[in-house]
Amino acid sequence: MSDLLVDVRDLVVDFPVGGPGAYVRAVDGVSFTMGPGHALGIVGESGSGKSTVAAALLGLHRGTGTRLGGTVRVAGTDVGGASAAELRRLRGATAAMVFQDPLSSLDPYYAVGDQIAEVYRVHAAVSRRAARARAVSVLDRVGIPDAVRRSRARPHEFSGGMRQRALIAMALVCEPRLLIADEPTTALDVTVQAQILDLLHGLRREEGLGLLLVTHDVGVAAESVDELLVMRDGHAVERGPVAEVLAGPADPYTRALLAAVPRLDAPRKPRPSRETATTAAGVAGVAGGDGAEVPVVEALGLRREFGRGKRRVTAVGGVSLAVRAGETLGVVGESGSGKSTLGRMLVGLLEPSSGRVRHAGDEARGIPAGVQMVFQDPVSSLNPRRSVGESIADPLRAAGERDEAAIRARALALLERVGLEPGHYDRYPHEFSGGQRQRVGIARALAPRPRLIVCDEPVSALDVTTQAQVTALLAELQQELGIALVFIAHDLAVVRQVSDRVAVMRSGEIVEEGPVDEVYDRPAHPYTRQLLDAVPVLDPELAAARRHRAVGPS
């Protein structure tokens, strides 16, 4: 067994909760092995225990009050029985971890290169100058352009993709044998995600690294690993070669997980026509002077700039679009393309530098009545000191409703409508899962009976089954209520499933717009084709062939 890089036997992890002696089981009897240079993907929904397993490989639960059972060996080191000095040597020199959020892993006050150099000096007896040179070397290795200059930059001066590359560089600086990547691409758009996955593949090929990839995105795992381990509620329900698990999943849960993955090549679920949706909801479009229907929202030459003088940046430059009752417009593009800025102007949270926004034909001033927004992160958009019921009720009070009994009744009805329980009214956001919190955000947006809801990355932080539930809920609500939806996302497969039309943004401009099937099946703009080509596929052979075309043979 000495040739194994990772050997986990009957791992049990219990987290302390509440009073003394109270625990909840997060991992229950998980076993697996990994050989040198191999890649294992651990997939499952939020709360399945996959990140807890990854943390156990580095002994990160030590000193937290957590109870552990079973054995964990990494490169021959018994993690559970290791001394503090042995753990320090293990972390970084033998195995290293890349976390999901680089901003919380990097110190905002220090240059990126200095932080990487400091990690190197902890494990190697070298001078500051040698450590600095090593930091520049690994930054260059992970594809940071002009690494000498950029090593002096602070984290906020890097893009999201560059920060993730910097974290990978920090993990590689001591030449570990095992790289543990915990959701390393969750917050990245599809092209940057593809670059990071290609980087990890290249490191495995050239450095002989073992890779343990933790992800809720089965498509990401399909492109990156040799074997899959599927987890549910702390248990390992299935394990096998990635191609076999994806082609013929044995466990019903694995089959359900794969069925929930949004795919570009999957047939779209039938969507009702706008006329059917608005008629069923009793909503009619506003007729203009010539009898034509007036859009619920219309942007005319919208432009938004930030900064002054030489530092002025154009986030949105001359965008025009319209959305009608019962219609969903998907807006896609990479980070920094202007999607969120456009969405905030449509609801009045940002004032355009020039151009106009019309709601039902009227010029918008400030935040007009009848518009709402659902944000990406419900944790930061829900007040932690107010119950979820009160958060749903607040927009009603802001709209002038004074009957508290009627307000509470409306909030309770909305909780039920989005799949929660009336008894949840008095609970607080931290008592809910991510998907449940997003349902609360949707209920709050529905409270004042809006005509338009702008959803800004509403499912990007959710696992695939929760994504499917939330998008199905939005589609159902739209059919029932006849709402106009603007669905902003970097996940092109999700956008195809929920949208009638799609607008592709790049550098603040719409480069392509049209019916969603037409744009996806016959993209006219090279940038649209580039985005579509970067979407992960649930076929390891196809992914390998695509990588072969992009970077050449292994």
Specify the DSSP element, H or E, that contains 491. Answer: none
Model pLDDT for residues 266-304, shown as the tens digit of each residue: 666 665 555 655 555 555 555 656 556 889 999 999 999
C-alpha 91/C-alpha 86 separation (Å) is 9
> Is the pLDDT confidence value at 475 over 90?
no
Tell me which DSSP letter residue 162 carries.
H
Q: Is residue 349 part of a domain?
A: no
Higher pLDDT, 203 or 100: 203
C-alpha 203/C-alpha 179 separation (Å) is 10
Tell me which DSSP letter residue 267 carries.
P
Triad 120, 122, 128: Cα angle to 5°: 60
Q: Is residue 384 part of a domain?
A: no
Q: Is residue 187 part of a domain?
A: yes
pTM of this prediction exceeds 0.85:
no
Mean pLDDT of 238-255: 93
Q: 17: alpha, beta or left, given left = phi > 0 and alpha = psi -120 to 50?
A: beta
Q: What is the DSSP string of 347-359?
A: HTSS--SEEEEEE
C-alpha 114/C-alpha 111 separation (Å) is 5
**CATH number (domain holding residue 61):** 3.40.50.300
Token pair for 53: 């397993």
Q: What is the pLDDT of residue 553?
A: 45
pLDDT confidence bin for 2, thresholds 50/70/90? low
Model pLDDT for residues 436-449, shown as the tens digit of each residue: 888 898 889 988 89
Nearest of 434, 432, 409 to residue 422 by alpha carbon? 409
Q: Is residue 72 part of a domain?
A: yes
Nearest of 364, 323, 330 to residue 483 by alpha carbon? 323
C-alpha 31/C-alpha 235 separation (Å) is 10
Q: What is the pLDDT of residue 9?
A: 96
Q: Is residue 19 part of a domain?
A: yes
C-alpha 420/C-alpha 406 separation (Å) is 19
Q: Is residue 157 part of a domain?
A: no
Model pLDDT for residues 26-55, shown as the tens digit of each residue: 999 999 999 999 999 999 988 889 999 999
Q: Is residue 445 part of a domain?
A: no
Percent residues over pLDDT 70 in the chain: 92
Return the sign of the alpha-carbon dihedral for residues 350, 159, 507, 484.
Answer: negative
Number of domains in the chain: 1
Mean pLDDT of 357-372: 88
Look up residue 353 and give its amino acid: S
Model pLDDT for residues 508-530, shown as the tens digit of each residue: 999 999 999 999 999 999 999 99
Going along 45-204, which residue ranges are E strands? Answer: 67-74, 77-78, 95-98, 178-182
Model pLDDT for residues 375-391, shown as the tens digit of each residue: 877 777 788 899 999 99
C-alpha 313/C-alpha 93 separation (Å) is 42
Say whether 228 sits in a helix, a strand or coil. strand
3-state secondary structure 99-138: CCCHHHHCCCCCCHHHHHHHHHHHHCCCCHHHHHHHHHHH
C-alpha 40/C-alpha 21 separation (Å) is 34
Tokens 């062939």, located at residue: 545
**Domain boundaries, position 229:** 6-104+176-260
Mean pLDDT of 258-269: 76
Nearest of 119, 164, 176, 151 to residue 5 by alpha carbon? 176
Q: What is the pLDDT of residue 554?
A: 40
End-to-end CA distance of the chain: 29
Q: Is residue 210 part of a domain?
A: yes
The residues with which 328 forms a beta bridge, in sequence order, are: 485
Q: Which residues contact 214 (CB under 8 A, 6 or more apart)?
A: 41, 42, 50, 51, 53, 54, 180, 181, 182, 183
> Is the pLDDT confidence value at 133 over 60?
yes
Question: Helix axis angle, 190-207 relative to 526-533, nearest 10°?
Answer: 50
Q: Which residues contact 354 (CB under 8 A, 6 or more apart)?
A: 301, 302, 303
C-alpha 160/C-alpha 457 separation (Å) is 16
Going along 233-382, which residue ranges are E strands? Answer: 235-241, 286-287, 293-294, 297-306, 313-323, 328-332, 354-359, 362-363, 371-374
Pairing of strands 297-306, 293-294: unpaired
Specify the DSSP element, H or E, that contains 154. Answer: none
Nearest of 231, 252, 260, 251 to residue 48 by alpha carbon? 231
The residues with which 91 forms a beta bridge, in sequence order, are: 95
